[in-house]
Amino acid sequence: MSKKYAFVVGIDSQWITEAKNYFANGKDKLYFTTNKDFTKLPFQSVYFKINGFKINGKYCASYKAEFIEITRTNPVEFRLPSSASETSKYYYGFTNFREINEPIPLTKFIRHPSGKQLRNDFQGNAAVIDPLDQDDIFACDIDETEEKEVVIRKVLRDSVIVKDLKNIYNDSCQICNKQINLRDSMYSEAHHLQPLGKKRHNGPDIKENLIILCPNHHAEFDFAAIALNPITLIIEHCNPNDEFIGKEMILKHFIDNRYLEYHYNNIFIKNQNKETK
Q: Is the peptide bond before 113 cis (omega within 30 degrees of 0)?
A: yes
The sign of the torsion formed by the CA atoms of 181, 140, 255, 101 equals: positive
148 and 269 part of one domain: yes
- The mean pLDDT value for 174-195 works out to 88
Q: How far is CA 243 from each of CA 31, 77, 119, 174, 222, rounded to the nearest angstrom?
A: 55, 60, 48, 14, 19
69 and 91 part of one domain: yes
94 and 18 part of one domain: yes
Decide if 115 is inside a domain. yes
136 three-state secondary structure? coil
CB 188 within 8 A of CB 180: yes
Q: How far from chain centre, in Å, is Cα 91?
A: 25
Question: What H or E segment, with its residue span, contains residue 151?
Answer: strand 150-154
Decide if 136 is inside a domain. no
Q: Looking at the DSSP assignment, which residues form a beta bridge with residue 160?
A: none
Decide if 58 is inside a domain. yes
183 and 78 part of one domain: no
208 and 243 part of one domain: yes
pLDDT digits (tens, 9 = 90+) for 113-154: 677 778 877 767 777 877 544 333 333 333 333 333 333 333
pLDDT-derived band at 275 (thresholds 50, 70, 90) equals low
What whole-number distance in Å separates Cα of residue 195 and Cα of residue 175?
Answer: 19
Residue 268 DSSP one-character state? I
Q: How far from chain centre, in Å, is Cα 183?
A: 28
What whole-number distance in Å separates Cα of residue 46 and Cα of residue 10?
Answer: 10
Last residue of one domain, picked from the residues 109, 129, 149? 129
As a dihedral over the C-alpha atoms of residue 108, residue 110, residue 116, residue 117, rounded to 10 degrees, the angle is -20
Q: Which domain holds residue 150?
A: 141-276
pLDDT at residue 219 greater than cutoff 70? yes
- Predicted TM-score (pTM) of the model is 0.47
Number of domains composing the chain? 2
Question: What H or E segment, with its residue span, contains residue 105?
Answer: strand 91-105
pLDDT digits (tens, 9 = 90+) for 157-181: 446 788 889 999 999 999 999 999 8
What pLDDT does residue 3 have? 63
- The mean pLDDT value for 196-225 works out to 85
163 and 125 part of one domain: no
89 and 147 part of one domain: no
239 and 113 part of one domain: no
State the DSSP string of 220-265. Answer: HHHTTSEEE-TTT-BEEESSTT-TTTTPBPP-SS---HHHHHHIII
Backbone angles phi and psi of 16, in degrees to 5: -60, -45
Most confident of 3-7, 110-114, 124-128, 213-217: 213-217
CB 195 within 8 A of CB 203: yes
- The mean pLDDT value for 65-94 works out to 60
Decide if 64 is inside a domain. yes
Report the half-sphere exposure of 76 (CA within 13 A, side-chain side). Answer: 0
What whole-number distance in Å separates Cα of residue 38 and Cα of residue 53?
Answer: 25
119 and 29 part of one domain: yes
Decide if 182 is inside a domain. yes
Decide if 108 is inside a domain. yes
Q: How far is CA 168 from each of CA 207, 211, 245, 264, rounded to the nearest angstrom?
A: 11, 11, 24, 24
What CATH number corresponds to the domain at position 71?
2.30.130
What whole-number distance in Å separates Cα of residue 150 and Cα of residue 138?
Answer: 18
Decide if 134 is inside a domain. no
58 and 91 part of one domain: yes
267 three-state secondary structure? helix
Last residue of one domain, picked from the residues 87, 106, 129? 129
84 and 154 part of one domain: no
Last residue of one domain, picked from the residues 85, 106, 129? 129
86 and 191 part of one domain: no
